[in-house]
Amino acid sequence: MALALTGIFTFLFTACGIKDSEEKNSIKIAYLPITHSLAVLEEAEELEKNSDGAKVELVKYGSWPELLDALNSGKVDGASVLIELAMKSKQEGAGIKAVALGHKDGNVIVVSNEIEKIEDLKGKTFAIPHRQSSHNILLNDALANGGLTIEDIKITELAPTEMPSALASGQIDGYCVAEPFGAMGVSLKAGKVLYSSEELWEDSLCCGLVLTDKFINNKPQDAKDFVDNYKKAGANLDKEKAKKIAKKYLKQKDDVLDISLQWISYDDLNITKETYDTLVKKVKDYKLSDNPPSYEDFVKNDL
Protein backbone atom coordinates (compact mmCIF):
# COMPACT_ATOMS: atom_id res chain seq x y z
CA MET A 1 0.00 0.00 0.00
CA ALA A 2 2.79 2.39 0.97
CA LEU A 3 4.61 1.58 -2.25
CA ALA A 4 1.46 2.24 -4.27
CA LEU A 5 0.92 5.61 -2.58
CA THR A 6 4.54 6.55 -3.19
CA GLY A 7 4.06 5.76 -6.85
CA ILE A 8 0.90 7.86 -7.02
CA PHE A 9 2.51 10.86 -5.34
CA THR A 10 5.56 10.54 -7.60
CA PHE A 11 3.29 10.54 -10.64
CA LEU A 12 1.32 13.55 -9.38
CA PHE A 13 4.43 15.59 -8.61
CA THR A 14 5.94 14.68 -11.97
CA ALA A 15 2.72 15.60 -13.77
CA CYS A 16 2.52 18.90 -11.90
CA GLY A 17 6.13 19.59 -12.82
CA ILE A 18 5.38 19.01 -16.49
CA LYS A 19 2.31 21.22 -16.30
CA ASP A 20 4.22 24.00 -14.53
CA SER A 21 6.99 23.77 -17.10
CA GLU A 22 4.49 24.00 -19.96
CA GLU A 23 2.74 26.98 -18.37
CA LYS A 24 6.06 28.68 -17.77
CA ASN A 25 7.04 28.38 -21.41
CA SER A 26 3.68 29.35 -22.90
CA ILE A 27 2.83 33.02 -23.47
CA LYS A 28 -0.81 33.72 -24.31
CA ILE A 29 -1.16 36.59 -26.78
CA ALA A 30 -4.51 37.88 -28.02
CA TYR A 31 -4.87 39.16 -31.57
CA LEU A 32 -7.33 40.03 -34.31
CA PRO A 33 -6.76 38.57 -37.81
CA ILE A 34 -5.44 41.79 -39.39
CA THR A 35 -2.17 42.73 -41.09
CA HIS A 36 -1.36 44.93 -38.08
CA SER A 37 -0.81 41.72 -36.06
CA LEU A 38 1.60 40.04 -38.47
CA ALA A 39 4.74 40.63 -36.38
CA VAL A 40 3.39 38.66 -33.44
CA LEU A 41 2.07 35.96 -35.78
CA GLU A 42 5.50 35.67 -37.41
CA GLU A 43 7.18 35.46 -33.99
CA ALA A 44 4.85 32.64 -32.96
CA GLU A 45 5.81 30.76 -36.13
CA GLU A 46 9.53 31.28 -35.54
CA LEU A 47 9.40 30.22 -31.89
CA GLU A 48 7.41 27.12 -32.80
CA LYS A 49 10.38 25.95 -34.90
CA ASN A 50 12.76 26.17 -31.93
CA SER A 51 12.81 23.37 -29.39
CA ASP A 52 14.03 25.59 -26.54
CA GLY A 53 12.54 28.66 -24.94
CA ALA A 54 9.06 30.05 -24.61
CA LYS A 55 6.30 29.43 -27.12
CA VAL A 56 3.55 31.85 -28.10
CA GLU A 57 -0.01 30.60 -27.68
CA LEU A 58 -2.07 32.73 -30.06
CA VAL A 59 -5.64 33.49 -28.97
CA LYS A 60 -7.80 34.87 -31.78
CA TYR A 61 -10.70 37.25 -31.12
CA GLY A 62 -13.33 38.66 -33.43
CA SER A 63 -13.66 42.16 -32.00
CA TRP A 64 -11.74 44.73 -29.97
CA PRO A 65 -14.18 44.63 -26.99
CA GLU A 66 -13.72 40.84 -26.69
CA LEU A 67 -9.95 41.18 -26.89
CA LEU A 68 -9.87 44.01 -24.33
CA ASP A 69 -11.97 41.99 -21.92
CA ALA A 70 -9.50 39.10 -22.14
CA LEU A 71 -6.52 41.43 -21.67
CA ASN A 72 -7.97 43.45 -18.79
CA SER A 73 -9.23 40.36 -16.95
CA GLY A 74 -5.87 38.56 -17.19
CA LYS A 75 -7.07 35.73 -19.42
CA VAL A 76 -4.07 36.41 -21.66
CA ASP A 77 -0.53 37.63 -20.98
CA GLY A 78 -0.62 40.29 -23.67
CA ALA A 79 -2.16 41.43 -26.91
CA SER A 80 -1.66 43.13 -30.23
CA VAL A 81 -4.20 45.92 -29.81
CA LEU A 82 -5.19 49.43 -30.85
CA ILE A 83 -2.90 51.54 -28.72
CA GLU A 84 -5.60 54.10 -27.88
CA LEU A 85 -7.79 51.31 -26.47
CA ALA A 86 -4.87 50.12 -24.35
CA MET A 87 -4.23 53.69 -23.18
CA LYS A 88 -7.88 53.99 -22.13
CA SER A 89 -7.67 50.70 -20.22
CA LYS A 90 -4.50 51.90 -18.49
CA GLN A 91 -6.20 55.18 -17.62
CA GLU A 92 -9.04 53.18 -16.05
CA GLY A 93 -6.66 51.14 -13.88
CA ALA A 94 -5.68 48.10 -15.95
CA GLY A 95 -2.22 46.72 -15.13
CA ILE A 96 -0.67 46.77 -18.60
CA LYS A 97 2.37 48.21 -20.40
CA ALA A 98 3.01 48.95 -24.06
CA VAL A 99 6.32 47.31 -24.99
CA ALA A 100 6.48 47.77 -28.77
CA LEU A 101 4.63 48.97 -31.85
CA GLY A 102 2.53 46.55 -33.85
CA HIS A 103 3.61 48.02 -37.19
CA LYS A 104 4.50 51.27 -38.94
CA ASP A 105 2.17 53.11 -41.33
CA GLY A 106 -0.40 50.74 -42.85
CA ASN A 107 -3.62 52.80 -42.65
CA VAL A 108 -5.53 54.50 -45.46
CA ILE A 109 -8.61 56.65 -45.79
CA VAL A 110 -10.84 55.02 -48.38
CA VAL A 111 -13.69 56.98 -49.97
CA SER A 112 -16.31 56.28 -52.61
CA ASN A 113 -15.31 56.91 -56.20
CA GLU A 114 -17.48 60.06 -56.28
CA ILE A 115 -15.39 61.77 -53.58
CA GLU A 116 -12.57 63.81 -55.14
CA LYS A 117 -11.31 65.77 -52.14
CA ILE A 118 -11.78 65.77 -48.37
CA GLU A 119 -14.20 68.73 -48.57
CA ASP A 120 -16.60 66.48 -50.52
CA LEU A 121 -17.19 64.47 -47.34
CA LYS A 122 -19.15 67.34 -45.76
CA GLY A 123 -22.53 65.98 -44.70
CA LYS A 124 -21.51 62.44 -45.69
CA THR A 125 -21.27 59.27 -43.59
CA PHE A 126 -17.85 57.93 -42.59
CA ALA A 127 -17.09 54.71 -40.69
CA ILE A 128 -14.42 54.01 -38.09
CA PRO A 129 -13.95 50.82 -36.04
CA HIS A 130 -13.88 52.53 -32.64
CA ARG A 131 -13.75 56.04 -31.26
CA GLN A 132 -10.57 55.10 -29.40
CA SER A 133 -8.46 54.49 -32.49
CA SER A 134 -5.81 56.01 -34.71
CA HIS A 135 -8.37 55.72 -37.50
CA ASN A 136 -10.46 58.33 -35.71
CA ILE A 137 -7.37 60.53 -35.33
CA LEU A 138 -6.43 60.15 -39.00
CA LEU A 139 -9.96 61.12 -40.00
CA ASN A 140 -9.71 64.25 -37.85
CA ASP A 141 -6.33 65.07 -39.40
CA ALA A 142 -7.75 64.64 -42.92
CA LEU A 143 -10.78 66.81 -42.18
CA ALA A 144 -8.53 69.54 -40.78
CA ASN A 145 -6.70 69.59 -44.13
CA GLY A 146 -9.95 70.68 -45.75
CA GLY A 147 -11.00 73.10 -43.06
CA LEU A 148 -13.61 70.68 -41.69
CA THR A 149 -14.19 69.14 -38.26
CA ILE A 150 -15.80 65.93 -37.10
CA GLU A 151 -19.07 67.84 -36.63
CA ASP A 152 -19.26 68.40 -40.40
CA ILE A 153 -19.77 64.69 -41.18
CA LYS A 154 -21.77 61.76 -39.83
CA ILE A 155 -19.66 59.21 -37.93
CA THR A 156 -20.66 55.59 -37.56
CA GLU A 157 -18.82 52.72 -35.88
CA LEU A 158 -18.79 49.52 -37.92
CA ALA A 159 -17.05 46.17 -37.65
CA PRO A 160 -14.04 46.18 -40.02
CA THR A 161 -15.41 43.25 -42.03
CA GLU A 162 -18.59 45.21 -42.82
CA MET A 163 -16.92 48.35 -44.17
CA PRO A 164 -16.00 47.34 -47.75
CA SER A 165 -19.53 46.07 -48.48
CA ALA A 166 -21.08 49.11 -46.76
CA LEU A 167 -19.06 51.37 -49.06
CA ALA A 168 -20.00 49.31 -52.13
CA SER A 169 -23.71 49.51 -51.27
CA GLY A 170 -23.62 53.25 -50.60
CA GLN A 171 -24.43 52.84 -46.91
CA ILE A 172 -21.29 54.85 -46.11
CA ASP A 173 -19.17 57.28 -48.13
CA GLY A 174 -15.79 56.40 -46.69
CA TYR A 175 -13.94 54.60 -43.93
CA CYS A 176 -10.61 54.16 -42.17
CA VAL A 177 -9.80 50.85 -40.51
CA ALA A 178 -7.09 48.26 -39.89
CA GLU A 179 -5.84 46.39 -42.91
CA PRO A 180 -6.56 44.44 -45.04
CA PHE A 181 -10.06 45.92 -45.08
CA GLY A 182 -9.02 49.16 -46.75
CA ALA A 183 -7.39 47.12 -49.49
CA MET A 184 -10.58 45.06 -49.84
CA GLY A 185 -12.57 48.19 -50.71
CA VAL A 186 -9.99 49.15 -53.32
CA SER A 187 -9.85 45.59 -54.70
CA LEU A 188 -13.65 45.56 -55.06
CA LYS A 189 -13.40 48.91 -56.88
CA ALA A 190 -15.94 50.20 -54.37
CA GLY A 191 -13.64 53.08 -53.51
CA LYS A 192 -10.19 54.61 -53.68
CA VAL A 193 -7.47 55.83 -51.34
CA LEU A 194 -7.78 59.53 -50.55
CA TYR A 195 -4.93 59.61 -48.01
CA SER A 196 -2.37 57.19 -46.64
CA SER A 197 -1.47 57.53 -42.97
CA GLU A 198 2.05 58.87 -43.56
CA GLU A 199 0.62 61.75 -45.61
CA LEU A 200 -1.45 62.85 -42.63
CA TRP A 201 0.62 61.87 -39.60
CA GLU A 202 4.26 60.96 -40.03
CA ASP A 203 5.39 58.09 -37.75
CA SER A 204 1.79 57.52 -36.67
CA LEU A 205 1.09 55.02 -33.91
CA CYS A 206 -1.77 52.57 -34.37
CA CYS A 207 -1.55 49.06 -32.93
CA GLY A 208 0.86 48.19 -30.15
CA LEU A 209 2.13 45.10 -28.38
CA VAL A 210 0.93 45.22 -24.78
CA LEU A 211 1.86 42.92 -21.88
CA THR A 212 0.25 42.63 -18.47
CA ASP A 213 2.13 43.86 -15.41
CA LYS A 214 1.58 40.44 -13.85
CA PHE A 215 3.39 38.68 -16.67
CA ILE A 216 6.23 41.23 -16.76
CA ASN A 217 6.74 41.06 -12.97
CA ASN A 218 6.35 37.30 -12.55
CA LYS A 219 8.36 36.26 -15.61
CA PRO A 220 10.73 39.12 -16.42
CA GLN A 221 13.15 37.00 -18.45
CA ASP A 222 10.36 35.45 -20.50
CA ALA A 223 8.95 38.94 -21.09
CA LYS A 224 12.32 40.28 -22.19
CA ASP A 225 13.00 37.34 -24.51
CA PHE A 226 9.51 37.58 -25.95
CA VAL A 227 9.83 41.28 -26.80
CA ASP A 228 13.36 40.86 -28.18
CA ASN A 229 12.19 38.03 -30.44
CA TYR A 230 9.13 40.02 -31.44
CA LYS A 231 11.21 42.97 -32.63
CA LYS A 232 13.54 40.63 -34.53
CA ALA A 233 10.54 38.98 -36.18
CA GLY A 234 9.29 42.39 -37.26
CA ALA A 235 12.68 43.45 -38.62
CA ASN A 236 12.86 40.25 -40.71
CA LEU A 237 9.28 40.48 -41.96
CA ASP A 238 9.74 41.46 -45.60
CA LYS A 239 6.84 41.57 -48.08
CA GLU A 240 7.27 37.93 -49.11
CA LYS A 241 7.24 36.62 -45.53
CA ALA A 242 4.42 38.98 -44.59
CA LYS A 243 2.25 37.71 -47.43
CA LYS A 244 2.94 34.08 -46.53
CA ILE A 245 1.97 34.55 -42.89
CA ALA A 246 -1.03 36.73 -43.84
CA LYS A 247 -2.36 34.05 -46.21
CA LYS A 248 -2.19 31.49 -43.42
CA TYR A 249 -3.91 33.53 -40.70
CA LEU A 250 -6.03 36.10 -42.57
CA LYS A 251 -7.43 33.93 -45.37
CA GLN A 252 -7.50 36.82 -47.86
CA LYS A 253 -7.10 36.85 -51.64
CA ASP A 254 -3.70 37.52 -53.18
CA ASP A 255 -4.70 40.82 -54.77
CA VAL A 256 -6.04 42.17 -51.47
CA LEU A 257 -2.82 41.27 -49.65
CA ASP A 258 -0.65 42.65 -52.46
CA ILE A 259 -2.43 46.02 -52.17
CA SER A 260 -2.46 46.05 -48.37
CA LEU A 261 1.19 45.12 -47.86
CA GLN A 262 2.33 48.06 -50.00
CA TRP A 263 1.29 50.39 -47.18
CA ILE A 264 2.78 48.76 -44.08
CA SER A 265 6.16 47.88 -42.56
CA TYR A 266 7.37 46.19 -39.38
CA ASP A 267 10.94 47.38 -38.91
CA ASP A 268 12.05 49.34 -35.83
CA LEU A 269 9.06 48.69 -33.57
CA ASN A 270 10.31 50.74 -30.62
CA ILE A 271 7.89 53.27 -29.13
CA THR A 272 9.81 56.53 -28.74
CA LYS A 273 8.82 59.28 -26.33
CA GLU A 274 8.57 61.77 -29.20
CA THR A 275 6.08 59.70 -31.19
CA TYR A 276 4.08 58.78 -28.08
CA ASP A 277 3.87 62.41 -26.94
CA THR A 278 2.56 63.34 -30.39
CA LEU A 279 -0.11 60.67 -29.99
CA VAL A 280 -1.05 62.00 -26.54
CA LYS A 281 -1.45 65.52 -27.95
CA LYS A 282 -3.74 64.26 -30.74
CA VAL A 283 -5.77 62.16 -28.27
CA LYS A 284 -6.38 65.32 -26.22
CA ASP A 285 -6.91 67.67 -29.18
CA TYR A 286 -9.52 65.41 -30.76
CA LYS A 287 -11.16 64.65 -27.40
CA LEU A 288 -10.57 60.90 -27.35
CA SER A 289 -9.40 61.32 -23.76
CA ASP A 290 -8.65 64.25 -21.46
CA ASN A 291 -6.15 62.34 -19.30
CA PRO A 292 -4.20 59.73 -21.27
CA PRO A 293 -1.33 57.96 -19.45
CA SER A 294 2.13 59.46 -19.67
CA TYR A 295 4.98 57.79 -21.54
CA GLU A 296 6.69 56.95 -18.24
CA ASP A 297 3.57 55.27 -16.81
CA PHE A 298 2.50 53.36 -19.90
CA VAL A 299 5.49 52.54 -22.12
CA LYS A 300 8.18 50.09 -21.00
CA ASN A 301 11.30 49.93 -23.13
CA ASP A 302 13.67 48.57 -20.48
CA LEU A 303 12.61 44.94 -20.09
pLDDT tens digit sequence for 274-292: 999 999 999 999 999 999 9
Reported confidence tier of residue 48, pLDDT bands at 50, 70, 90: confident
Q: Say whether pLDDT at 16 is over 70.
A: no
Q: What is the pLDDT of residue 53?
A: 65
CATH class for the domain made up of 27-105+204-298: alpha beta
Q: What is the pLDDT of residue 9?
A: 39
C-alpha distances out from residue 184 to 46, 107, 255, 258, Å: 28, 13, 9, 11
Reported confidence tier of residue 302, pLDDT bands at 50, 70, 90: confident
Where in the chain do CATH 3.40.190.10 domains reside?
27-105+204-298, 108-200
Mean per-residue pLDDT, 227-252: 93
Q: What is the pLDDT of residues 105-116, one digit of tens each?
A: 999 999 999 999
Mean per-residue pLDDT, 53-81: 93
* Topology of domain 108-200, CATH: D-Maltodextrin-Binding Protein; domain 2 (3.40.190)
Q: Is 196 exposed, middle or buried (0-12, 13-18, 19+ CB in 10 A)?
A: middle
Q: Say whether pLDDT at 23 is over 50.
A: no
Q: What is the pLDDT of residue 51?
A: 56
What are residue 111's DSSP bridge partners?
A: 174, 192
Q: What is the pLDDT of residue 52?
A: 65
Mean per-residue pLDDT, 131-154: 97
Q: State percent of the chain over pLDDT 90.
A: 84
Beta carbons within 8 Å of 112's beta carbon, 6+ residues apart: 167, 170, 173, 174, 190, 191
